[in-house]
Amino acid sequence: MPKYLQSFQQLFLFLLLGVTTNLFAELPKKPTDPKDALFRSKLITTKTEGHAVEVKAKIKGIQHLYLTVSDGGNSYSCDWADWALPRLVENNGNETRLTDLKWEYAKSGWGKVQINKNCGGRPLRINGKDIEYGIGTHANSEIHYKLPKDHKFVEFRCLAGIDNGGSDQQNGTQSSVQFFVSERPIDLPKLSQIQQGIPVVDHFPPDQFTLPEGLEVKLWAKSPLFFNPTNMDIDHKGRVWVAEGRNYRGKRTQPDGDRIVVLEDKDGDGIADSSHVFVQEKTFISPLGVAVVDNKIIVSQPPDLIVYTDINRNAVYDEGVDKREVLLTGFDGNNHDHSLHAVTVGPNGQYYLNFGNKGAMVTDKDGWQLNAGSFYSMKHISGQPSSDGQVYLGGVAFRVNQDGSGLRPIGHNFRNSYEQAVSSLGDVFQNDNDDPPASRTAWLMEYGNMGFTSKNGLRRWGSDKMPGQTTQIAEWRQEDPGVVPAGDIYGGGSPTGIAFYENGIMEDRFGGYVISCEPARNVLFGYHPKIKGSGITLPERDIFLTSNPEKNFAGADFASAGRINGLINLFRPSDVCIGPDGAIYVADWFDARVGGHGTRDAGQTGAIYRIAPKGAKLSIPQFDLTTIKGQIEALKSPSPNVRELGRARLVKAGNKSIPSVRKLLAHPNSFIQARAIWLLAKLGENGLKIVEDQIDHEDANIRICAFRALRHENHRILEHADKLADDSSPAVRREVALAMRYLPFDRSKNILLKIAQGYDGIDRYYVEAFG
């Protein structure tokens, strides 16, 4: 080798060694057990003398100084904390103010870490006394200093206590913090679990769940593949897309913004083994919705509904290659549970979604404006009509075309429906949470007023509660005219994701089954909806999956918010989805607390479980989307958003797809029949004629579905309505009444009179269908 190359090689190795050494020197420090801290305070509360404790920690020879504040294991409510008069002391008594040094990083559970100010930006004060200098923060907090090389410091001293910014609040007596000084970062997840008396685990053991006989639960994925799942969807390849909420309610643990993460089981063993980020944005603060529709990934991040088009289909958002579009904007409630939620594709190809009572002022691509406010938020537009002249209040469910046009509300006046499930028949199911103990699961009749606030949106239910009314009746205004039945009211809770099972490996038992997550009760409820009169009821509430069969509730607004009863209360299901393999997937937020805008899981862990018949050999169906046969197979998928791959392509194929689609009308599963009906209505005159024949079907659900499909295509509505106005089924007549709502009275009068003659005098849905 020439000498100049030898010299170059030596120089390169020297530089590489130096760089490598520096890299290793800067690697993150391994967390330390809390009991090994240099200093550990007792739990400081407003009952502690002076609301503070003196800190002395030996630091001779250490290079890294970590200052940690935990919430004491009982949520971080009002946990404002100060490191007062922090100083580094030498043997000779000389002192250096820690505030004169620059930290490496500083994290706060709320607000921000500040020098000489509390986390809210006001002067430092502990127990009413001003603090000359110090560091203000909020549990859970971590501050890292790298001390000067060859420093002579032997001790760290300060006064550590509760800032008046927390203790002076209305709930200030809840303030509780614990201070740690250490050479390595404190293992906060372990500390949190120790403080709460929780077994140090990162998921609930699958074999300890209670579920229907013949089914089994398996762990499909867990942290660190992802963290804090707020919502999920499953694509046609069986990949699970997760919206993370690590920055939920001021927890800035993800400074670059929350993420949409893609999980995959590449080796097919039933356990996810791969994870990567699809997109991460600084503006993502606990997005509550992710939907995957072919190569479009739809993220619900207020104020926006964002559509990413993955042009190169590599499941990674490549700026400059892929497309990012704000489809709709104007949803209030950034980082708020009561805001915009996830998209579901309906059987007609439209997006269905909702928002809670944070409200919205949204204009679609046609210029049609939706206004929705109430006393809770957007009060300035409460009672103002939308573009159709109607008033919508609080939380609203709506549908919109995939290009952002054609937005129309389908129900309103919720408190906070977290998500909706749309059946292939076109029925919408949702849950809704409470202030007092009146959470519910319900069928949403189109245009239904679900009764949370007054007609002008400005009065709370308690203001209008009448003598003798129960909370459940009063909160949902069940004795007010113009309000539809509330559904299944089951008490205190915080319902989240919801799904509707139609076909697949469990359809013999669970075909037509609503599954609703209730994290406050550590359970997934199940319902078999039934037509009763003109409405759809949920007569029996099943316990589909639970970690807590004895119902020892805790860690929720309605039950022992500050404590838990052990591992059983950590299962907090945030979403449920039907996979293309026919299995049921459940995302678990895994936390000791739910509701109250707080969390207590410092590790922000999560898990995804898969539920299927015992011993079932599951696989992800493969289909060729370039052929009509493959498109039909996609349309038959158990997974709602996967069906859209087939539906959209079959519509594009036009008349040549009709023979194959028509065959589905003879399918033994009525939901697959319904998918064919909606699709045929999109295939021109030939398809519409076939749908018109279904108006005479023996099954009332199919007659309703056919009428809905024809109505969506605006095809001979009055003619079909007149025929069905005296149908033997009150549910069919209800659907006809709904279709007449915004037609001129001189055109609908005779039809409405005919429907009115069928009223039995007691059916509330029937009355409200008239509007």
pLDDT for residue 102: 97
Mean pLDDT of 551-574: 87
> Do the domain assignments include residue 470?
no
> Do the domain assignments include residue 138?
yes
Q: Quick one: CA dihedral 44, 46, 48, 53, positive or negative?
A: positive
| Phi, psi for residue 181 in degrees, rounded to 5 | -120, 130
Give CA–CA dist 12/23, Å, rounded.
16
pLDDT for residue 403: 98
Asked if the model's pLDDT at residue 290 lies above 70, the reply is: yes
Going by pLDDT thresholds of 50, 70 and 90, the confidence category of residue 53 is very high
| Mode of pairing for the β-strands spanning 392-393 and 369-373 | parallel
> How do residues 477-511 score in pLDDT, each as one tens digit?
999 999 999 999 999 999 999 999 999 999 999 99
| Mode of pairing for the β-strands spanning 105-107 and 141-146 | antiparallel
Residue type, 568: I
The chain-wide mean pLDDT, for the chain, equals: 93
Mean pLDDT of 612-622: 96
Mean pLDDT of 41-66: 97
Torsion, Cα 679 681 685 690, to 10 degrees, reads 90
Q: Are residues 4 and 142 in the same domain?
A: no
CA 67 from chain center: how many Å?
Answer: 33
pLDDT for residue 164: 98
Asked if the model's pLDDT at residue 519 lies above 90, the reply is: yes
pLDDT for residue 9: 43
Asked if the model's pLDDT at residue 268 lies above 60, the reply is: yes
**Number of domains forming the structure of the chain:** 3
Q: Are residues 672 and 758 in the same domain?
A: yes
Express as a percent the part of the chain with pLDDT over 90.
85
Q: Which range is least confidently modeled, 599-603, 703-707, 764-768? A: 599-603
Q: Which range is least confidently modeled, 18-27, 352-361, 373-382, 569-578? A: 18-27
Q: 587 forms bridges with which residues in the sheet?
A: 575, 608
* Pair 343, 298: CB distance under 8 Å: yes
Express as a percent the part of the chain with pLDDT over 70.
94
> How do residues 143-184 score in pLDDT, each as one tens digit?
999 999 999 999 999 999 999 999 999 889 889 999 999 999
Q: Which range is least confidently modeled, 74-83, 166-175, 244-253, 299-308? A: 244-253
Asked if the model's pLDDT at residue 515 lies above 80, the reply is: yes
Q: Would you state the structure tokens that stand for residue 162, as one six-digit string?
A: 């509760």
> Do the domain assignments include residue 764?
yes
Please enumerate in sequence order all residues whose Cβ is within 8 A of that of 630, keeping only pairs 6 or more positions apart, or say none.
623, 624, 646
> How do residues 104-146 score in pLDDT, each as one tens digit?
999 998 899 999 999 999 999 999 999 999 999 999 899 999 9
pLDDT for residue 109: 85
Please enumerate in sequence order all residues whose Cβ is within 8 A of that of 495, keeping only pairs 6 or more positions apart, or say none.
418, 431, 432, 433, 439, 441, 516, 517, 518, 519
pLDDT for residue 407: 98
Q: Which residue has the tokens 């239904």?
A: 448
Q: Tell me whether residue 100 is exposed, middle or buried, using C-beta atoms within 10 angstroms of its C-beta: 0 to 12, 13 to 18, 19 or more.
A: exposed
> How do residues 358-373 score in pLDDT, each as one tens digit?
999 999 999 999 999 9
Q: Tell me whether residue 61 is exposed, middle or buried, using C-beta atoms within 10 angstroms of its C-beta: 0 to 12, 13 to 18, 19 or more.
A: exposed
Per the model's pLDDT, the better-predicted residue between 524 and 191 turns out to be 524
Asked if the model's pLDDT at residue 20 lies above 70, the reply is: no
Identify the three-state secondary structure at position 71.
coil
> Do the domain assignments include residue 359?
no
Q: Are residues 75 and 151 in the same domain?
A: yes
Q: Which range is least confidently modeled, 14-23, 135-144, 228-237? A: 14-23
Q: Are residues 59 and 173 in the same domain?
A: yes
Q: Are residues 124 and 3 in the same domain?
A: no
> Do the domain assignments include residue 740?
yes
Q: Are residues 14 and 76 in the same domain?
A: no
Q: Are residues 712 and 764 in the same domain?
A: yes
| Mode of pairing for the β-strands spanning 408-414 and 395-400 | antiparallel
Asked if the model's pLDDT at residue 54 lies above 50, the reply is: yes
Going by pLDDT thresholds of 50, 70 and 90, the confidence category of residue 563 is confident
pLDDT for residue 603: 77
Q: Are residues 18 and 164 in the same domain?
A: no
Please enumerate in sequence order all residues whose Cβ is within 8 A of that of 361, keeping only pairs 6 or more positions apart, or say none.
330, 332, 369, 370, 371, 372, 373, 378, 381
Contacts 24+ apart (CB under 8 A), 682-690: 682/348, 682/349, 682/651, 682/713, 683/651, 683/654, 683/655, 683/657, 683/658, 684/654, 684/655, 686/655, 686/658, 687/658, 687/661, 688/713, 688/715, 690/658, 690/662, 690/665
CATH number for the domain spanning 670: value is: 1.25.10.10
CA 356 from chain center: how many Å?
Answer: 12
Range of the domain at 88: 34-195
Q: Would you state the structure tokens that stand for residue 179, as one six-digit string?
A: 């201070």
Query: E strand or H helix at 645, and its extent?
Result: helix 640-653
> Do the domain assignments include residue 476?
no
> Do the domain assignments include residue 282?
no
pLDDT for residue 196: 66
Give CA–CA dist 283/299, Å, rounded.
12
Taking the CB of residue 446, how many other CB atoms lie within 10 A of it? 20
Nearest to 55 by CA among 35, 97, 83: 83
> How do residues 441-476 score in pLDDT, each as one tens digit?
999 999 999 999 999 999 999 999 999 999 999 999
pLDDT for residue 37: 95
> Do the domain assignments include residue 239?
no
* Pair 362, 351: CB distance under 8 Å: no
Domain edge (last residue) among 195, 227, 247:
195
Give CA–CA dist 111/140, Å, rounded.
11
Q: Are residues 73 and 1 in the same domain?
A: no
Q: Are residues 14 and 97 in the same domain?
A: no
Q: Are residues 41 and 173 in the same domain?
A: yes
Domain edge (last residue) among 195, 225, 240:
195
Give CA–CA dist 235/262, Å, rounded.
10
Mean pLDDT of 637-661: 97
Domain edge (last residue) among 161, 195, 229:
195
pLDDT for residue 307: 98
Give CA–CA dist 255/283, Å, rounded.
10
Torsion, Cα 483 485 487 488, to 10 degrees, reads 110
Per the model's pLDDT, the better-predicted residue between 768 and 12 turns out to be 768
Asked if the model's pLDDT at residue 695 lies above 90, the reply is: yes
Report pTM.
Answer: 0.84
Going by pLDDT thresholds of 50, 70 and 90, the confidence category of residue 397 is very high
> How do residues 194-226 score in pLDDT, each as one tens digit?
776 666 788 999 999 999 999 999 999 999 999
Going by pLDDT thresholds of 50, 70 and 90, the confidence category of residue 673 is very high
* Pair 429, 421: CB distance under 8 Å: yes
What's the number of CA atoms in the CB half-sphere (13 Å) around residue 119?
Answer: 27
Q: Are residues 95 and 179 in the same domain?
A: yes
> How do residues 416-442 score in pLDDT, each as one tens digit?
999 999 999 999 999 998 777 899 999
